[in-house]
Amino acid sequence: MTDHYRRPPSTKRIKAVIAALGYEIVWHDDEAAGYTYFDERLISLRRGMTNNEVRSTLAHEAMHAMFGPFPADQEDEEERLVEWLASRWLIPLSVLRTVAKRRLEPPQALTYARVDPAALQARVRRAMADDQRADWTQNLQQLADLPA
Ligand SMILES: [Zn+2]
């Protein structure tokens, strides 16, 4: 995949993928940003989130719908996989490189990438771990520990 030139998915596009998986989107009011109910084929989002939170949570739950559920004793692994895949889907390399090149501070980086802090942090940490010798990833250090 030529990640460099891939466009980041819009919320509309992510919703279309969720629909293609046979899942319906519903809403809830408790604290968790999102849930995936495999048996009912429902993805639930917390009411009142920002557009970037909705976009990030939809991508996260779409990855659960696609790859889950893992066995009960492997839920941490499922969570790590889903967070990584969602962050990579949401933030193509071209977007991450621009964030690094412009040395964007957290608020600007989140606005530019149109994601929540968890997604940006997952993307940045993995890019830094994968590509430690590349100069450009050094510029991402300030984004590796974002307050949730
Ligand atoms: Zn999750």
CA of 68 relative to ligand 1 center, distance in Å? 10
CA of 86 relative to ligand 1 center, distance in Å? 10
CA of 142 relative to ligand 1 center, distance in Å? 25
Instruction: Supply the pLDDT for residue 5.
Output: 66
Decide if 90 contacts 108 (C-beta within 8 A): no
Phi and psi, residue 10, nearest 5°: -75, 165
Range of the domain at 142: 1-148
Mind listing the pLDDT tens digit for each residue in 65-117? 999 899 999 999 999 999 999 999 999 999 999 999 999 999 999 999 999 99
Decide if 99 contacts 92 (C-beta within 8 A): no
pTM over cut 0.85: yes
Question: Is pLDDT larger for residue 4 or for residue 105?
Answer: 105
Q: Which of 28, 11, 8 is nearest to 92 (CA)?
A: 8
- Compute the C-alpha angle 29/55/24, nearest 5°: 65
Name the domain count of the chain.
Answer: 1
- The tokens describing 43, both together, are 């993805």
CA of 95 relative to ligand 1 center, distance in Å? 23
HSE value, Cβ hemisphere, 13 Å, CA-based, for 81: 14
Of the pLDDT bands very low, low, confident and very high (cuts 50, 70, 90), residue 1 is: low
